[in-house]
Chain A
Amino acid sequence: MPHSLTANGFMGLDSALPPWTSVRKIVQAEATTASASESPDQRRARLMAAAQSGDRRAYERVLADSILLIRVAARRQGVAADRLDDVVQETLITVNRVRHTYDPSRSYDAWLTAIANRRAIDALRSRGRRDSRELHDDFAFDNHADLADASAATEQLQRAQRLRAAIAELPPGQREAVEQMGLHERSLSEAAELTGRNTGALKVNLHRALKALRERFNGEP
């Protein structure tokens, strides 16, 4: 997707340019037919000089041939792989705008690399600015994952406090039944033994206590 954006972004400027895929084929054909004595830099310089004179095919070839150089320059500047296409696009737009500044007696690669370096640094800076404003998901998760747990723990604590307060407000018999059998998890007979009440009274008291608590918290009768 980013690659098609690259092509389209540039196509907007110069609609006569074919998609890069077809240009690549032309360049490969050109590379195989280039004379052995000519270095790639010299070939690009010759093509760019022709482009400055209005040779559209030469311009298409030299631009397509520049993409790899731009990517290498951007990589060297430390641009991440997923941002390389953006730098290629920005550099090609700049090249199109300032192509009159190229001096054919000098290295095309040096000229292009200087522009690509600048655009790469721009990309790194804009990335830096964005990173200082925004949080990445994984970063947020690593640093703030406990936030939800902390609020849940507080809620649970508050619920327990409310329950304890409600139990404290129960009549003494019911409170005793809940404490012994509900909170301390004692059996009916153990509770009867500890409180000195008979099991039937404890059962009734526990039943009434639970009903009262349920009414209080859930609004059920």
Chain B
Amino acid sequence: MRRLPPPSVRTVGWLLVVAAFAVVLLMHYGITGMQQRFVGTPDLAWAGVGAVLTAVSAAWAAFALSVPGRRAAWAWLPLPGALLWIGASGLGCLRQTVLQVTAPGTAVSTAHQSVDCLVFIIAFSIPLSVLMVFLLRRAYPLRPVLTAVLVGLASAAASASLLEICHAYDAAATDLLTHAAAVALVVAVNAAMGGRLLSKA
């Protein structure tokens, strides 16, 4: 019998896969575009930090909740990161709309271009969610649906973080709504399917 590694170790394992995706994207798109955007408009950088924190904390919470005897309060762990992510994105939206300051190297996306963001987030969320569900199935989540919600949040936040590498659109209302819709969709699908996949009779 092989003992289950602690949640922190399993979280790091999953994050390594996310990091591998990031490396591939950085090699393809380069780092300069992202640097310019983040230096020119710090709110975008803070939103990115918020997304990364949400991904890390939601993944950690999901792995912690998959062990019997851990408190359900773990589910609140992603809240600070999520607040930073949402708050900074909202500030970016205000800056763009009210002050008319657009981040360097970006444009305000059209509805059609926003769909690309939606597809990106969903496309990356699928393998990340599948991997995490696979890892969690070795454990024993006593709250399968809550755990699945955290899986969805971690995957969507990680995908949104990866999107920042190649995201040439500013934080306008259309873009934010698309991101929010993508995250909500990923979380909802995970809650609907993951709950069943994670519950063991």
Decide yes or no whether B2 CB sits under 8 A from chain A: yes
Q: Which of B2, B67, B69, B200 has the largest count of A CB atoms less than 10 A from its CB?
A: B69
Task: Tell me which residues across on chain A come within 8 A of B1, comparing CB atoms.
Answer: 52, 54, 99-100
Decide yes or no whether B140 CB sits under 8 A from chain A: yes
The answer to whether B68 and A98 touch across the interface, beta carbons within 8 angstroms, is: yes
Of all chain B residues, which has the CB nearest A95? B68
Task: Tell me which residues across on chain A come within 8 A of B66, comparing CB atoms.
Answer: 101
Of all chain A residues, which has the CB nearest B68? A114
Q: Give chain A interface residues in 147-184, CB to chain B under 8 Å.
A: none
The secondary structure that dominates the B interface is loop
When each residue 152-195 of chain B gets 1 if its CB lies under 8 Å from chain A and 0 otherwise, what string results?
A: 00000000000000000000000000000000000000000000
Q: What separation, in Å, do the CA atoms of A115 and B200 have in the docked complex?
A: 12
Given A98-B140, A101-B139, A101-B140, the answer on whether A114 and B4 have CB atoms closer than 8 Å is no
The answer to whether B3 and A113 touch across the interface, beta carbons within 8 angstroms, is: no
Closest CB of chain B to A91's CB: distance in Å? Answer: 11
Given A98-B140, A115-B142, A118-B142, the answer on whether A103 and B2 have CB atoms closer than 8 Å is no
Q: What separation, in Å, do the CA atoms of A116 and B2 have in the docked complex?
A: 23
The answer to whether B3 and A111 touch across the interface, beta carbons within 8 angstroms, is: no
Given A98-B140, A101-B140, A118-B142, the answer on whether A111 and B4 have CB atoms closer than 8 Å is no
Measured as residues with beta carbon below 8 angstroms from the partner, the interface class of chain A is 10 to 19
Q: What separation, in Å, do the CA atoms of A118 and B142 have in the docked complex?
A: 7
Task: Tell me which residues across on chain A come within 8 A of B138, comparing CB atoms.
Answer: 100
The answer to whether B3 and A52 touch across the interface, beta carbons within 8 angstroms, is: yes
Task: Tell me which residues across on chain A come within 8 A of B142, comparing CB atoms.
Answer: 114-115, 118
The answer to whether B3 and A110 touch across the interface, beta carbons within 8 angstroms, is: no
Q: Give chain B interface residues in 33-67, CB to chain A under 8 Å.
A: 66-67
Of all chain B residues, which has the CB nearest A98? B140
When each residue 94-129 of chain A gets 1 if its CB lies under 8 Å from chain B and 0 otherwise, what string results?
A: 100111111100110011111100100000000000
The answer to whether A100 and B3 touch across the interface, beta carbons within 8 angstroms, is: yes
Closest CB of chain B to A14's CB: distance in Å? Answer: 12
Task: Tell me which residues across on chain B come within 8 A of A118, comparing CB atoms.
Answer: 68, 142
Measured as residues with beta carbon below 8 angstroms from the partner, the interface class of chain B is 10 to 19
Given A114-B142, A115-B142, A118-B142, the answer on whether A100 and B2 have CB atoms closer than 8 Å is yes
Of all chain A residues, which has the CB nearest B7? A103
Closest CB of chain A to B142's CB: distance in Å? Answer: 5
Q: What separation, in Å, do the CA atoms of A114 and B6 have in the docked complex?
A: 18
Of all chain A residues, which has the CB nearest B141? A101
When each residue 32-58 of chain A gets 1 if its CB lies under 8 Å from chain B and 0 otherwise, what string results?
A: 000000000000000000001010000
Q: What separation, in Å, do the CA atoms of A111 and B139 have in the docked complex?
A: 13
When each residue 51-94 of chain A gets 1 if its CB lies under 8 Å from chain B and 0 otherwise, what string results?
A: 01010000000000000000000000000000000000000001
Task: Tell me which residues across on chain B come within 8 A of A102, comparing CB atoms.
Answer: 3, 68
Given A52-B3, A100-B4, the answer on whether A106 and B69 have CB atoms closer than 8 Å is yes
Q: What separation, in Å, do the CA atoms of A52 and B2 have in the docked complex?
A: 8
Closest CB of chain B to A20's CB: distance in Å? Answer: 22
Q: B69's contact among A94, A100, A110, by CB below 8 Å, is which?
A: A110
The answer to whether A111 and B69 touch across the interface, beta carbons within 8 angstroms, is: yes
Task: Tell me which residues across on chain A come within 8 A of B68, comparing CB atoms.
Answer: 98, 101-102, 111-112, 114-115, 118
Instruction: List 11 contacting pairs A-B, 8 Å CB cutoff, sorted by A.
Output: A98-B139, A100-B1, A101-B67, A106-B69, A110-B69, A111-B67, A111-B68, A114-B68, A114-B142, A115-B142, A118-B68
8 nearest CB pairs, A to B: A110-B69, A111-B69, A114-B68, A98-B140, A114-B69, A101-B4, A101-B140, A115-B68
